[in-house]
A = this chain, B = another copy of it.
Amino acid sequence: MLGITILGNNSALPAHDRHPTAQLLTTPEHLLLFDCGEGTQMQLARYKIRRSKINYIFISHLHGDHYFGLPGLLNSMGLQGRTQDLHLFIPEKLKTILELQFEVANAVLPFKIHYHFLLEEGVILEEKKFTVSCFKTQHRIECWGFLFKEKKHPRKILPDECIKHEIPSSFYERLHWGEDYSNKDGEIIKNDWVTKANTAPKSYAYSADTIYDENLADNVTNVSLLFHETTYLKDQEERAAARFHSTTIQAAMIARKANVNRLIIGHFSSKYEELDEFEKEAKEVFENCELAIEGVTYLL
């Protein structure tokens, strides 16, 4: 089961008990944190998520509402005695800031940080069951979106059929990946006689902060779940553009163009206390859309 838990759904100015951006992707083996606004470690505690399980952290850009919670989170991991390596995928200059903060505190963390700098688009993390790649978004400063993609699932073995065709179990691993079997008489046993298709791999795109940009759709085509920012309602299109942010309609247009399965929207401006209108507007263009609500987990 893969899910994305929203820890912060507000834009830069925290308000209405909404927090700056942070999202946690849960896989059976790993927790991946996308952005880490101020208070993320408290939000993790609030939703009873163990900080120690996070091994990968991705920071989209260096506006404070996307990373001011990172030094505190790292400190707390250290205070809790973490020894496991941690991987940070960040804009390069953030390393300078973090190291300066460690230095003035005379702090040495008890775990190793691996810094991976966001320099060009492409795969930045390859795990056994998934990859994460980054792509550029159009914002006031350099900004990166992230695309999580499960690898193809192995085909499911049909045990009765395999026995009937006398396929040795040592060949099952190759059956998982679609190979045909050739038996001792030279007869070909077609893979799809003895296996069946598994579920399709899931994917999640976190498109960070961005102005409306049609090209973004190319980076998130067909994903299971897309997060697209909607800092403003549709009547604020000019303001959104001036600040390199997007509206409800614009987010929904990207989702439609990219043919995603489902859209969640967030990064709401603090000027909005009520959020109902956001969902309503986005649904005018893309029906399978929900608000990104803090504490809620959206399955991929």
Residues of A within 8 A of B (CB): 12-15, 19-20, 38-39, 41-42, 45, 62-65, 68-69, 71-72, 75-76, 79-80, 91, 93-94, 96-97, 100-101, 104-107, 140-141
Copies in the complex: 2
Contacts of A140 in B (CB 8 A): 106
* C-alpha gap A41/B38 in the complex (Å): 9
Which residues in B have their C-beta under 8 angstroms from that of A69? 38
Assembly CA distance A79 to B45 (angstroms) = 28
Task: For the complex, give the distance between the alpha carbons of A28 and B63 in Å.
Answer: 35
Judging by beta carbons under 8 Å apart, are B42 and A14 in contact? yes
Q: In the complex, A41→B104 CA distance in Å?
A: 23
Q: Interface centre among A62, A72, A96, by most B CB within 10 Å?
A: A72
Question: Which B residues are in CB contact (< 8 Å) with A39?
Answer: 38-39, 42
Residues A62 and B104 in contact, CB atoms below 8 Å apart: yes
Which residues of B have CB within 8 Å of A107?
63-64
Compute how far the CA of A69 lies from the CA of B69 in the bound complex, rounded to whole angstroms.
9
Known: A38-B38, A38-B39, A105-B64. A13 touches B76 (CB 8 A): yes
User: Are B62 and A14 in touch, CB under 8 angstroms?
Assistant: no
8 Å CB contact of A101 from B20, B64, B79, B80: B64
Which residues on the B side are within 8 Å of A41 (C-beta)? Answer: 14, 38
Interface pairs (8), CB distance under 8 Å: A12-B76, A20-B72, A38-B42, A64-B71, A64-B72, A91-B104, A94-B104, A96-B100
Contact: B141 with A15, CB < 8 Å? no
Take A38-B69, A69-B38, A100-B100 as given contacts and tell me if A62 and B12 are in contact as well, using a CB distance cutoff of 8 Å: no
Complex: A106 Cα to B140 Cα, angstroms: 8
A75 touches B64 (CB 8 A): yes
